[in-house]
Structure 1
């Protein structure tokens, strides 16, 4: 008896919260997503900037002191521990300062991204579904901001590489590489920030992804069989989308690391496998989400 009453109270509370959300951002959703956009963009930019700074440090004379070698050994052990000994880097580095900066940047960026993902998962567990409360004008403004960021990012990346192509012929390779990566870091920050700020107004996408965190055995317990079947079908598509992202990220990162650390494959364009993999994945995920919305909730907005 108490259980039924508790479930009824919970359902009433959720219904009341949804009514409130329909008239404003009382879930703190918009602030949460703005903070998430800033953190994701910053996490990725920190990693790329680390490689940029590492390239600039490669201009310095090699200094393989005992202290530096111990730091390198410690970082290698840390990487081995974090990757369960899958990744093992050589302890003798040509430019140990560069190696140290790059690894620290990876760890800092990874930490930012990891905490951001955990925070977003916690938010989605608390608010599994949010009805549309953005006005058409607000949604349009979000995508306008995205377009501005894309234009600025493209302009920065193109401008930096034009400068390198025109005046960088006689520059040291490490300096040109560092400048190129700095431009990429700024461009990626703008791309990611703009994209997340634009996508944040797509509450169907939020609800769709939130299904991943719902226990399949609890899904639609209080719903009709038809509604439960619809939610289960959506969750299967959501799980497929999440798995696709995980595999693509793993393969992209491994490809990028191979092109950066392996001597026979090393290139300044080590980031291309990751960008290409994520680009293809983004297109496939968009198709999956579009199909889910068209089939199951065509009238959501």
Structure 2
């Protein structure tokens, strides 16, 4: 256990953790980098697939109406299910004109959700197996990760702005489904780049990984074999971690709820239905960064 200049205690690696650090320094024997690269790809793909489902739904609305009896029955069943779940608050958009549109959107949501769910479960399993990993990325590797993130942000922003600039310039004469489809298509591409770049950059921040892994550790097991002082530090970090996780859950819930309201409710429907989710995401990232920065500064300032 080390102390800061002001006399407060900070966490230091145990002998076992130091050994793991020495092993990791000679190569990625934990499979961490491969795991995080795969996670970045899957997270980005899962979100993009959901948005692509809505984009495809917009493009399908351009096709001639084909309200077959089978399609109508499928939509009626989905409509009843949604009505029961939302107490008849939500109704399907343009059911009479293009019922297949909603079916495509539902398929996109299900595929994207499945990808995200499996990715989350895989990451949780990895965190349970490796609860703490000491820093083994070189400063150059960390810099390259954030350079990739910067490049992805620039490309994503350029794609979204360019497509919407074209829509604003020439889209006045285009049909609403075409405009909506193109807008969502650009957002899907942009979100893929944003998420992939961010996760690839953040993967080199192993304090962040260790901090988030605390949420999967039973509070009664945490630091059971450590000194009382170190256990208190780990418990304090876990409290901050749990707060950060709760914040993410609440923000995600309200962001999705707002996005669904702007997409499905007749009086609120807009092509910018994704804005509540984006806003919630930005606010969450800022607050979580503050929490994590505070935890690192207070408890493990010398981690890197």
Q: Same fold (TM over 0.5)?
A: yes
Equivalent in the alignment of 1:53: 56
Give the distance between the partners of 1:99 and 1:181, measured in 2 at CA.
15
Equivalent in the alignment of 1:70: 73
The answer to whether structure 1 residue 107 and structure 2 residue 110 are counterparts is yes
Distance of aligned partners of 1:224 and 1:273 in 2 relative to their CA distance in 1, 3 Å threshold = same
Distance of aligned partners of 1:235 and 1:191 in 2 relative to their CA distance in 1, 3 Å threshold = same
Give the distance between the partners of 2:70 and 2:126, measured in 1 at CA.
44
Q: CA deviation at 1:64?
A: 2.3
Where do residues 181-192 of structure 1 align in structure 2 (5 Å cutoff)?
Answer: 181-192=184-195
Q: CA deviation at 1:286?
A: 0.2
The answer to whether structure 1 residue 162 and structure 2 residue 160 are counterparts is no
Structure 1: unaligned runs, 5 residues or longer? 1-10
Q: How many pairs does the alignment contain? A: 288
Q: CA deviation at 1:173?
A: 1.2
Instruction: Deviation per CA, 1:89-135: give whole Å up to 9, x if none.
Output: 54781321110011110111011101100100000000000000000
The answer to whether structure 1 residue 268 and structure 2 residue 268 are counterparts is no
Equivalent pair of 1:22/1:131 in contact (CA under 8 Å): no
Equivalent in the alignment of 2:85: 85
Where do residues 228-239 of structure 1 align in structure 2 (5 Å cutoff)?
Answer: 228-239=231-242
Equivalent in the alignment of 1:123: 126
The answer to whether structure 1 residue 222 and structure 2 residue 192 are counterparts is no
The alignment partner of 1:179 has SS state of helix
Structure 2: unaligned runs, 5 residues or longer? 1-13
Q: 1:212 aligns with which of 196, 205, 215?
A: 215
Equivalent pair of 2:156/2:189 in contact (CA under 8 Å): yes
Give the TM-score, by structure 1 length.
0.91
Equivalent in the alignment of 1:96: 99
Q: CA deviation at 1:74?
A: 4.4
Distance of aligned partners of 1:172 and 1:35 in 2 relative to their CA distance in 1, 3 Å threshold = same
The alignment partner of 1:160 has SS state of helix
Q: Calculate the aligned-residue CA RMSD, in Å.
A: 1.9
Q: CA deviation at 1:23?
A: 2.4
Give the distance between the partners of 1:136 and 1:176, measured in 2 at CA.
44
